[in-house]
């Protein structure tokens, strides 16, 4: 049996977070007239990377030895998004271990709750044979991310 255990997760909207906004593009909609559900995972990655930039960091470029492969991702959809909507995402560092970072992403459009996403990433280094090996998150990364999110 493959088992996936998910504890209850909570986002405290009173806690500070990093704010990212963007407009919905035409090509992100589908024939139902709304943003395709897979695009929400692209949006939350945009917010993740904007948080990294705000922290003076960048996730890796081609050739770099450290990367952040995804361990798990999830989204709970509340209301649809439409073409040209202004989406706001509040990103927070939710939990960390020595080798992983877990983020929450609260999506809103004005006063409307759009949904909540979660992303857990591992820190990994590429080995000579091309495979990835889990390593510890470099010192200072989490503190910088939390500071950029106002969570320090």
Helix 39-54 vs helix 141-148: crossing angle, to nearest 10: 100
Residue 60 to residue 126: CA distance in whole angstroms? 11
Minimum distance between the CB of residue 111 and a second copy, rounded to whole angstroms? 15
Name the minimum Å distance from CB 122 to a second copy: 9
As a whole number of angstroms, the distance between CA 69 and CA 128 comes to 17
- Which is closer to a second copy, CB of 71 or CB of 142? 71
Q: Does 133 contact a second copy by CB under 8 A?
A: no
Q: Which of 19, 80, 96, 147 binds a second copy (CB under 8 A)?
A: 80
**The token pair that represents 132 in the structure block:** 């990835």
Q: Are 72 and 104 in contact (CB under 8 A)?
A: no
Residues binding a second copy (CB under 8 A): 1-13, 25-27, 29-34, 36-39, 41-42, 45-46, 49, 53, 58-63, 67, 69-77, 80, 82-84, 106, 113, 116, 118, 130, 132
């Amino acid at each position: 049996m493959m088992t996936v255990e998910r504890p209850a997760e909570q986002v405290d909207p009173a806690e500070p977070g990093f704010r990212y906004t963007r407009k919905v593009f035409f090509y992100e909609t589908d024939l139902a007239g709304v943003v395709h559900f897979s695009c929400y995972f692209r949006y939350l990655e945009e917010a993740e990377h904007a948080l990294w930039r705000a922290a003076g960091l960048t996730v890796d470029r081609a050739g770099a030895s450290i990367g952040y492969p995804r361990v798990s991702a999830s989204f709970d959809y509340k209301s649809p998004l439409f073409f040209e909507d202004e989406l706001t995402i509040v990103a927070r560092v939710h939990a960390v271990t020595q080798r992983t970072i877990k983020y929450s992403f609260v999506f809103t459009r004005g006063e409307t709750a759009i949904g909540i996403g979660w992303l857990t990433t591992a820190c990994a280094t590429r080995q000579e044979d091309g495979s990835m090996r889990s390593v510890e998150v470099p010192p200072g990364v989490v503190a910088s991310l939390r500071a950029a999110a106002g969570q320090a």
